[in-house]
């Protein structure tokens, strides 16, 4: 019987040692220690033993039971530990790995240029206003001294919604709208936004952006215009920039001038950017035409004003060395990411 018990213990402990799951261990417990298990089966033979042997075998059996229980418990603990270990390993986070980079975008070149221009004029005491892109013929042309048959309309063909409504061709209508709102107070505003024209080539897009400037007050002179535009040119293109005013014509200003800045690439000596002239045209300007002041509710005998208008794309093209304005709107990330 002792041999039987020994053989049973050896076999059972081996089986426990080899088990790989809790279910397996449970069925081993039933098989060896259960009511109908192998130990019970062996102990049933005790009846045939001589009397003095029985307590000894009984004690051996109890000790064997304890060792098997212990073996099962140890194995359960080690399986649990291994499972925990495996889970930890599977869920391990390596905090030293570089993080996943979020694709962070940045401002579009037009937005950035627009903000830069706005900030400069804010610093010079101008307010920023915006207005409708769908504009009436009156504000876009009539009130700016461009009557229906005026040849200046030819250069600003636009997209019409009938005879009276169109996509504005410039931000100049905001001169009139602002004066109507603020009269009789002095005006110092810039108006920024999208404008539209029937134009499409490397330096013109059917949709583009303008910044309009307007100052109206007593005693505003051409010297004020020059001072403001010089400060602007130096702020955006470098402190060494000079400006020059070339006589020009706009129906809503008198006198009118195109404004050039000294070329920032060659410093005025002449290069391919300025086509050898040393100067780059950046905007149109002039003294507000008395008729425009009058139509907007100001008395040209009491106040005067200057105005200017520039293309944001043109400023961006010059500043960032772009050869084709259409790059700005085709949304090719390879282009946009460069800035």
Dihedral-angle region of residue 119 (phi above 0 means left; psi in -120 to 50 means alpha; beta otherwise): alpha
DSSP single-letter state for residue 197: -
Which one, 43 or 245, has the nearer CB to ligand DAH? 245
Quick check: 205 binds ligand DAH (CB under 6 A)? Answer: no
Quick check: 212 binds ligand DAH (CB under 6 A)? Answer: yes
Quick check: 193 binds ligand DAH (CB under 6 A)? Answer: no
CB of 336 to ligand DAH, least distance (A): 26
Which one, 13 or 191, has the nearer CB to ligand DAH? 191
Which one, 75 or 314, has the nearer CB to ligand DAH? 314
- DSSP sequence for 10-67: HHHHHHHHH--SHHHHHHHHHHHHSTTSHHHHHHGGGGGS-TTHHHHHHHHHHHHHHH
Which one, 71 or 305, has the nearer CB to ligand DAH? 305
Quick check: 250 binds ligand DAH (CB under 6 A)? Answer: yes
Among 145, 178, 253, 304, binds ligand DAH (CB under 6 A): 253
CB of 252 to ligand DAH, least distance (A): 6
Residue 129 main-chain phi, psi, to 5 deg: -125, 160
Among 140, 145, 309, 314, binds ligand DAH (CB under 6 A): 309
Quick check: 71 binds ligand DAH (CB under 6 A)? Answer: no
CB of 196 to ligand DAH, least distance (A): 11
DSSP single-letter state for residue 247: E
Q: What is the C-alpha separation between 316 and 236, in angstroms, rounded?
A: 10
Report cis status (omega within 30 of 0) of the bond before 255.
yes
Of 85-93, 96-104, 232-240, 278-286: span binding ligand DAH (CB under 6 A) = 278-286
Quick check: 140 binds ligand DAH (CB under 6 A)? Answer: no
Number of residues that bind ligand DAH (CB under 6 A): 11
Among 307, 315, 316, 328, binds ligand DAH (CB under 6 A): 307
Query: Exposure string (b/e) for 290-310, b if CB count within 10 Å is 16 or more?
Result: bebbebbebeeeebbbbbbbb
Among 308, 313, 316, 325, binds ligand DAH (CB under 6 A): 308
On whether the CB atoms of residues 263 and 280 are closer than 8 A, the answer is yes
Dihedral-angle region of residue 11 (phi above 0 means left; psi in -120 to 50 means alpha; beta otherwise): alpha
Spatial CB neighbours of 322, under 8 Å, sequence gap ≥ 6: 316, 328
Of 58-66, 86-94, 273-281, 283-291: span binding ligand DAH (CB under 6 A) = 283-291
- What residue ranges bind ligand DAH (CB under 6 A)? 170, 172, 212, 250, 253, 284-286, 307-309
């Amino acid at each position: 019987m002792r041999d039987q018990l020994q053989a049973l213990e050896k076999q059972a402990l081996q089986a426990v040692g080899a088990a790989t799951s809790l279910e397996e261990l449970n069925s081993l417990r039933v098989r060896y220690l259960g009511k109908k298990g192998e130990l019970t089966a062996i102990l049933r033979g005790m009846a045939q033993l001589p009397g003095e042997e029985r307590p000894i075998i009984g004690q051996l059996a109890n000790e064997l039971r304890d060792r098997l229980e212990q073996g099962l418990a140890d194995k359960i603990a080690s399986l649990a530990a291994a499972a925990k270990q495996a889970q930890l390993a599977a869920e391990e986070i390596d905090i030293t790995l570089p993080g996943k980079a979020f694709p962070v975008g940045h401002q579009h070149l037009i937005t950035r240029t627009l903000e830069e221009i706005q900030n400069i004029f804010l610093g010079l005491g101008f307010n920023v206003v915006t207005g409708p892109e769908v504009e009436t013929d009156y504000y876009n042309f009539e009130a700016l001294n461009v009557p229906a048959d005026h040849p200046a309309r030819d250069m600003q063909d636009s997209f019409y919604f009938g005879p009276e409504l169109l996509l504005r061709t410039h931000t100049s209508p905001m001169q009139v709208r602002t004066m109507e709102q603020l009269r009789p107070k002095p005006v110092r505003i810039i108006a920024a936004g999208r404008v539209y024209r029937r134009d499409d080539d490397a330096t013109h897009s059917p949709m583009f952006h303008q910044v309009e400037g307007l100052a109206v007050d007593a005693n505003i002179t051409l010297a004020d215009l020059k001072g403001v535009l010089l400060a602007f040119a130096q702020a955006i293109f470098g402190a060494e920039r000079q400006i020059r005013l070339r006589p020009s014509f706009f129906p809503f200003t008198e006198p009118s001038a195109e404004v050039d800045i000294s070329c920032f690439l060659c410093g005025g000596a002449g290069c391919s950017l300025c086509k050898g002239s040393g100067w780059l045209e950046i905007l149109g300007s002039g003294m507000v035409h008395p008729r425009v002041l009058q139509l907007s509710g100001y008395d040209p005998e009491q106040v005067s004003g200057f105005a200017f208008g520039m293309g944001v794309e043109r400023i961006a093209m010059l500043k960032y060395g772009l050869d084709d304005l259409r790059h700005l709107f085709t949304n090719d990330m390879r282009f946009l990411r460069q800035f």
